[in-house]
Structure 1
Amino acid sequence: MIITRFAPSPTGLLHIGNLRTAIFNFLATRKEGGKFILRLDDTDSSRSKKEFVDQVKEDLNWIGICWDQEFSQSEHIKRYDSIKKELVEMGRVYECFETPAELDLKRKKLLSMGKPPVYDRASLQLSEKEKEKLRSEKPSYWRFKLNNEVVEWRDSILGNQSINPSSVSDPVIVKAGGQYLYTLASVVDDIDYGVTDIIRGSDHVTNTAVQIQIFKALSKPVPNFGHHSLLIDLDGKALSKRDGSLNLKTLKNSGIEPMAIVSLLVSLGSANAIELYKNFKDIFDTFDLSSLSKAPAKLNISSLNALSQKAVQELSINEVEDYISSIGVPKDLSRNFWDMAKENISTKKDMEELWKICKRDVELDKADPDYEFLQKAFSLLKDLNKEPEPWKLWTEKVKKVSQRKGKDLYLPLRYALTGSTSGPDMNKLLPIMLLNNLQIIE
């Protein structure tokens, strides 16, 4: 059975790039009837917040992603301690004492000599006496010792991969102060929870080589790996998590429909044309990790807005009735209101403004050049509230008595009713206004 996990860090809001990873894992799992785990990478206690944990869950539920199991890494510190001790005894984890400033100086020196900035393993040369002295002076941190074996794997998206660890520094697995980093903690959890497939961004390829060595050092099976391309903007720049408009909470609050987001993210980087899916099940037949492009995928916000608009407009009355009721539309008007509104909205929130129009009264202004025309026109409207096509009948009557036609006829009437020279189909709007007891104030 396939077992995957999505592992966000609750140190901020869920970004659309992170969501893409969640979607790929969820689809790969549900397509095969497997198990999907939500893992909260909260070992950074100073930055991890419950409010972000709650928001991540809310965002995933809104998108339509449900999980079979959930846990937090902060619950497993003793387990990480045990594995670290095991690796220390094997000679694969060692204690280090350099400060960040000292490490930075070493990196700059190597770069100035034209050499790769790889850690020199100086701490391995320290005697126990020297270590004791350093421990009394400053906190230590811990690294995993890479061996010289080239790491190879068959990536489910990128194909055959080969990483030479000689070009990589021994990774820090525990920071000064005791915080476990992703590199070791993630491997331990993947082992303990039987994760079979790890799908994540291509920025983790080097991490994967390191983690494969940790799996092998612990004599555990290595999961299947797949690294999808990263999202970029239309200028080719990597999407920044600092862009607040691209987190799920903001997108939701702006009225973007969840399946519009899902539909766009699964289409980017694939050979399939961008199309709107109704639900996740509709994606199963076409979803294939191996068909994803290796090149970065361009995210076009205009495409997202267009998909969202289409998603809203294709909703049935049953799917929007509760929302329509929440903005005050009476139940007996809801069907007619939705029939009028869906042609004129980009988001559900746009219906609020349309309902305000439906409730507005007409105020005639004597200073208006069209005052006499409007006064006569609205006197002809009073007996049409029960007619099936009041706009058509009304404008025909007004046309006869006023001799106006075209824009001179329709625009003043529309503006008087709606406060705008453009907007919904008046054949659909006027009946709702009349049934809502339209008042003419002179």
Structure 2
Amino acid sequence: MLRFAPSPTGDMHIGNLRVAIFNYIVSKQLKEDLIIRIEDTDTERNIEGKDKEILEILNLFSIEYKSLFYQSANLKYHQKMALQLMTQKKAFACFCSDDKLDELREEAKKEGKPFRYDGFCENLSDETVLNTNAPFTVRIKKPEQNIKFTDLLKGDFDYAPFDVDSFIILRQDKTPTYNYACAVDDMLMDISVVIRGEDHVSNTPKQIHVRNSLGYEKEIKYVHLPIILNAQTGKKMSKRDDASSVKWLIEQGFLPSAIANYLVLMGNKTPTEIFTLEEAIEWFKIENVSKSAAKFDIDKLRFINRKHIEMLDEMRLSKILGFADADIGKLGKIFLEEASTTKEIKEKIEPIFAPKTSCEGFEEEFSKLKECLQKAPFFEDYEELKKYVMEQTGLKGKNLFKPLRYILTGVDNGPNISDIYPLIKNYLGEIIK
């Protein structure tokens, strides 16, 4: 069993999506189920509706999953297992106030040391705990031996007990902290492989320690994916980068198939540059993903997006553009020389159907042409239309072609009208109104 475990605390960014895609591909390759676990126990940071948005994006990218879970639904198990750890003296009640802990943090900072809990409450007697009315957290005792694990990408890791620390597993309100809830849920859900970002590497020994303390012996394989850098700045992609938001990319007219293509291609060895997720399942190897940070280049994504638009069925493209006519899909592809997203193609097509009242510098010719075209019979062929207009108006040269292009396309330049006309001829009444 594999899992994708997003938090509903903000927009899904490309790093999250890349993790989801890799989990999906590997689950298909291993023929194991993929589950979605919404990690919503940090109620103060949760944003209403973000869970639905995450699921909509997964659906948009055709990422299939077996089941959907909300981490908060497992609260009774989180509490029950914390109680088990306390009973076995593997966890303890901590009455240290936030002020006291802040004081310890400051002391560690001044000494240039990492902050670690000083163990003040670890050996309190049961009687003392029972007679103390102050609010408390629950901490798991730090391990007695080093925590070791092997990452399929990054190799071997070895964490000393000091690194793991006696960390909090239940807050004062008795809700679970991230590492504890994650460890318990991975155990309850029989997770076999965890694929996530490398920012979670330091969480892994803590989660292994929780499961070890609960007597869980199944080994979970880990893959921690490198961070994604902005190719232009060389810095880590952040929320300030528009392109980091999957929602923004979709709104800009990037196809889900192209985004998925690029996220798999990025920092990876692939047999071909342009492919679908279904094709990637056949050859993808998680161990071939680069150990170095991947660079996100929006221009490269534009190139890939253009290729995926080219591969789209014309009727499908026309529906994306707001029509239901294969000719409009063909028209959209004509503009791929100038555009690389469906949004940009829409912006090219909109002037064709926009009202046109005059053509600067050719006002008289514009009026004469418009009147002629409104009365003209239907012509299949652009050359026949052009011949008819020339005979009826007496216009020629730029006095004909400048205003004629503007009436038919709404712009002064672009692809040849002879290429555009066959695809818009059935809309002339609407275009020339």
Which TM-score band applies after superposition, normalised by the shorter structure? Answer: 0.7 to 0.9
* Residue matched to 2:382: 389
* Residue matched to 2:111: 113
Q: Contact between 1:29 and 1:35, CA under 8 Å: does it hold in 2?
A: yes
Amino acid at match of 1:265: L
Q: Contact between 2:265 and 2:273, CA under 8 Å: does it hold in 1?
A: yes
For 1:194 and 1:418, locate their aligned partners in 2 and report how far apart those are by CA, in whole Å: 59
For 1:177 and 1:362, locate their aligned partners in 2 and report how far apart those are by CA, in whole Å: 65
Q: Contact between 1:197 and 1:224, CA under 8 Å: does it hold in 2?
A: yes
Partner residue of 1:283 out of 280, 283, 292: 280
Identical counterparts, % of pairs: 28
Sort the Cα spacing of 1:6 and 1:85 in 2 relative to 1 into closer, same or farther, 3 A: same
Sort the Cα spacing of 1:412 and 1:148 in 2 relative to 1 into closer, same or farther, 3 A: same
Partner residue of 2:418 out of 424, 427, 438: 427
* Residue matched to 2:397: 404
Q: Contact between 2:369 and 2:403, CA under 8 Å: does it hold in 1?
A: no
Q: Which runs of 5+ in 2 are unaligned?
A: none
Sort the Cα spacing of 1:155 and 1:389 in 2 relative to 1 into closer, same or farther, 3 A: same
1:370 counterpart = 2:370: no
Listed as ranges, the matches of 1:5-404 within 5 Å are 5-49=3-47, 51-128=49-126, 130-132=128-130, 135-137=132-134, 139-220=135-216, 221-234=218-231, 235-241=233-239, 243=241, 246-272=244-270, 275-278=273-276, 280-323=277-320, 327=322, 329=323, 334-344=325-335, 345-350=339-344, 352-360=346-354, 363-364=357-358, 369-371=361-363, 385-390=378-383, 393-394=386-387, 404=397
Sort the Cα spacing of 1:131 and 1:395 in 2 relative to 1 into closer, same or farther, 3 A: farther
For 2:427 and 2:111, locate their aligned partners in 1 and report how far apart those are by CA, in whole Å: 80
Task: State the SS of the aligned residue for 1:285.
Answer: helix
Sort the Cα spacing of 1:46 and 1:378 in 2 relative to 1 into closer, same or farther, 3 A: closer
Amino acid at match of 1:31: Q
Amino acid at match of 1:202: E
Q: CA deviation at 1:47?
A: 3.6
For 1:440 and 1:45, locate their aligned partners in 2 and report how far apart those are by CA, in whole Å: 53
Amino acid at match of 2:156: N
Q: Which moved more, 1:153-162 or 1:339-348?
A: 339-348
Q: Contact between 2:228 and 2:293, CA under 8 Å: does it hold in 1?
A: yes
Q: Which moved more, 1:10-19 or 1:256-265?
A: 10-19
Q: Contact between 2:354 and 2:431, CA under 8 Å: does it hold in 1?
A: no
Task: State the SS of the aligned residue for 2:428.
Answer: coil
For 2:44 and 2:71, locate their aligned partners in 1 and report how far apart those are by CA, in whole Å: 14
Sort the Cα spacing of 1:356 and 1:153 in 2 relative to 1 into closer, same or farther, 3 A: closer
Q: Contact between 1:392 and 1:427, CA under 8 Å: does it hold in 2?
A: no
TM-score under structure 2 length normalisation: 0.87
Q: Contact between 1:395 and 1:410, CA under 8 Å: does it hold in 2?
A: no
Q: Which runs of 5+ in 1 are unaligned?
A: none
Aligned residues: 426
Q: CA deviation at 1:438?
A: 4.3
Amino acid at match of 1:198: V
Q: Contact between 1:154 and 1:160, CA under 8 Å: does it hold in 2?
A: yes
For 1:394 and 1:131, locate their aligned partners in 2 and report how far apart those are by CA, in whole Å: 98
Q: Contact between 1:26 and 1:36, CA under 8 Å: does it hold in 2?
A: yes
Task: State the SS of the aligned residue for 1:42.
Answer: coil
Q: CA deviation at 1:283?
A: 0.5
Q: CA deviation at 1:355?
A: 4.7
Deviations 1:177-217 (A, max 9, x none): 22201212222221222111111111111211122222222
Amino acid at match of 1:83: M
Q: Which moved more, 1:209-218 or 1:191-200?
A: 209-218
Sort the Cα spacing of 1:214 and 1:388 in 2 relative to 1 into closer, same or farther, 3 A: same
Sort the Cα spacing of 1:155 and 1:421 in 2 relative to 1 into closer, same or farther, 3 A: same
